[in-house]
Amino acid sequence: MDYFVITSILVFLSAVFGYVNLRVFKLPNTIGLTLITILFTLAVFALSYYDDTLLKAERFIISKIDFKVVLLDIMLSFLLFAGALHTDLNKLKEQRWPVLVFATFGVLVSTFLVGSAVYYLLIALGLHVKFVYCLLFGALISPTDPIAVLGILKKAGAPKKLEIKIVGESLFNDGVGVVVFLTIFGLASGSTSFSLHGVLELFVVEVFGGLFLGLILGWLTFYFLKKIDDYNIEVIITLATVMTGTVIATHLHVSAPLAMVVAGLMVGGNKTREHAMSELTEDYVDKFWELIDILLNMILFVLIGMEMLVLEFNTTYIYAGLLAIPIALACRYISLIVPVKLFQKRLDFVPNTTLIMTWGGLRGAISIALALGLTESMERDLFLVVTYVIVIFSILVQGLTIEKLIAKLNLNTSEKEN
């Protein structure tokens, strides 16, 4: 079975499940597709007691897909560029300092808090895991997922001030989280000798190199768009920005996710829209990337549901995952306290910002992809189950209740405009 057939099957399932969601469940796509795929996979498991043909076919498809490579090396750049393209750059500039602190200080603090808490949790459950592997888990579960966050927050009707903080943080902490994970992974695997200077240098090169590359890509895209007026070629130029930019970032060993976020923000900003795009071009660029975003999102969350097939259903691992849910939430809440206190008076934060950012900061596909990248010696099976439990809880429970939380806290329509 070649990749075209596998892709065709995934697109077909995405279309069917998307249709069922719109007709029956009427949930946000992120939540609906994940739920329907899990139900479908459970039904396949049940059917396998009588005939395991479908189960074998589904397992074969999953075995042929390297989820980590597909997401981190291919899909993530497209999704982050599309998300950044439709983010209000002016509002993000107003909130740039809290977003920056949330995405750096918050991720680092959460990584060490989660890693430490899970280390002692696993000891209590009789599982003796090295502390550095628990830190790896803290790094992969700490970033919030912009792919999961974007659609759900819009439907939930979060106040604009708060929405831009959560979305902005999610766009940037994703890239920072991947860099933190890769840094600790290098130390844990022995491929990088521990040196504070070396670790800081690696972190700075990855992060600031990615940001600088994104600025160059954004400026070049603006320059070429400004010189012509043909919506077909201009759409292709934005596509080339993402594809060649990702290749360059990989070659230079800088953060491709951060480069795509910065490039997307620049291309989607008012300056580019007003001076480099006609109204027709702007419409086509927006619709093209909206379609890419929807298609890849649907495939991605179908894959998340199907990843159940690679899990080792160990009862202790499941208990660890369930107990890790409140730990991850508590650590995120604590990691947000200092940044929120630091900026809330100056930038007039809405009430209960820390609570909503904790509950609205969803974990998603990136955490699963990073967990799949662990080696067997790093307790891959354990941390994959724990990660999957947290992600599914995050998408289904937090995603379904964030709208009710916002309503309960009386953050109504009048506040959304602020």
pLDDT for 21 equals: 95
Spell out the SS3 assignment of 30-93: HHHHHHHHHHHHHHHHHHCCCCCHHHHHHHHHHHCCCHHHHHHHHHHHHHHHHHHHCCCHHHHH
Q: Is the pLDDT of residue 151 over 90?
A: no
* Helix, strand, coil % in the chain, rounded to nearest 5: 85, 0, 15
At 191 the pLDDT is 62
3-state secondary structure (DSSP) of residue 204 = helix
414 pLDDT exceeds 60? no
Task: Name the CA radius of gyration of the chain, rounded.
Answer: 21
C-alpha angle 40-43-48 in degrees, rounded to nearest 5: 130
pLDDT of residue 190: 75
* Domain boundaries defined on the chain: 3-63, 68-416
269 in helix, strand or coil? coil
Are 369 and 72 a contacting pair, CB within 8 Å?
A: yes
The pTM (predicted TM-score) of the whole model is 0.91
Architecture of the domain defined by 68-416: Up-down Bundle (1.20)
Q: Which among 7-21, 168-182, 290-304 has the top mean pLDDT?
A: 7-21
Question: Does the pLDDT at position 412 exceed 90?
Answer: no
